[in-house]
Amino acid sequence: MRNHSRERLIAADDRRQRIRERAQEIVRRDVRAAEIKVRKQQGGSKYAKTDVLALKAIFDEYDRDGSGDLDRHELTLALQRRKAEAERVDPLLSRAQLLAQRQTARAAARSGPDCKGIFLCQFADSLFETLDANSDSRITFEELLLIVYPLATPTELKIMVKWVTPIPTKNELLQRQREEAERLRMENLRAMFAAYDRNHDGKVSITEFRMAMVDHDNWDQVDELFEQYDANGNGYVDFDEFCAIVTLDE
């Protein structure tokens, strides 16, 4: 009889355990579904888009020259401005409130040197070096995101950057294409000029020009061609003169 009762108790415990496990599984499934729903609403990230946009607004406020990144001077100025705002006296405070503030400040100062009030601008250099992950003396918004969201995955970081990146207009896209084409053209011109400038002194002499044109079909016109390239007649062809002739040929 006792064994039978014990078996029933064990069976009941097993049933309760299975129910608990099933309930936990349902909760975990619902949590995962909720996380997926939030990520879809926020473009694939578990972080709030509004927080990222607010962080970008602060970053842009610090970026005084609008370059898209922060230098050491900009960060220091921003932190000093925050300190000045914190120390500014509110003109709406009553005389009694001002007196109470001063008494509190004096009491804090007497309690020890560590209680006199510390501002981030006192650690601007250390803060800058911490934020400047790649040590290039510039802080990008991506580097700031790495500090604020250290657990974010690379995909989530890309999504957050996309949130704050404006969609270019058609004219802006065309301008970028033109700039890229010009960049590639200049790279090709520099490579061509380097083939002529054998001693890499930034100019092509008549000797270097003859060596580069040794297999040219119009070898008998090499000196005449050099004179055309040498616009200022100083006996050398610099990069600007070279580009001018090549551009005319195009």
Q: What is the pLDDT of residues 19-33, one digit of tens each?
A: 767 766 766 676 566
What per-residue confidence (pLDDT) applies to 222?
81
Residues 57, 117: Cα–Cα separation, whole Å:
27
**Predicted local distance difference test score (pLDDT) of residue 7:** 73
Asked whether the beta carbons of 40 and 57 are under 8 A apart, the reply is no
Neighbours of 211 (CB within 10 A): 12
pLDDT of residue 172: 84
pLDDT of residue 26: 65
Residue 37, classed as helix, strand or coil, is helix
**pLDDT at residue 203, rounded to an integer:** 92
Separation CA 68–CA 194 (nearest Å): 34
CA angle 117, 121, 127 (to 5 degrees): 120
> Beta 203-205 vs 236-238: how paired, if at all?
antiparallel
Looking at residue 188, its pLDDT comes to 92
The pair of structure tokens assigned to 160 is 């957050």
CA distance 65 to 3: 84
In whole angstroms, what is the distance from residue 55 CA to residue 62 CA? 11
Alpha helices (runs of H) in 149-231, residue ranges in sequence order: 154-164, 170-196, 206-212, 222-229
**What was the pLDDT predicted at 178?**
92
Separation of alpha carbons 174 and 192, rounded Å: 27
User: Tell me, what's the pLDDT at 8?
Assistant: 74
Q: What is the CA radius of gyration of the chain?
A: 35
Where the chain has pLDDT below 50, the residues are 109, 112-116
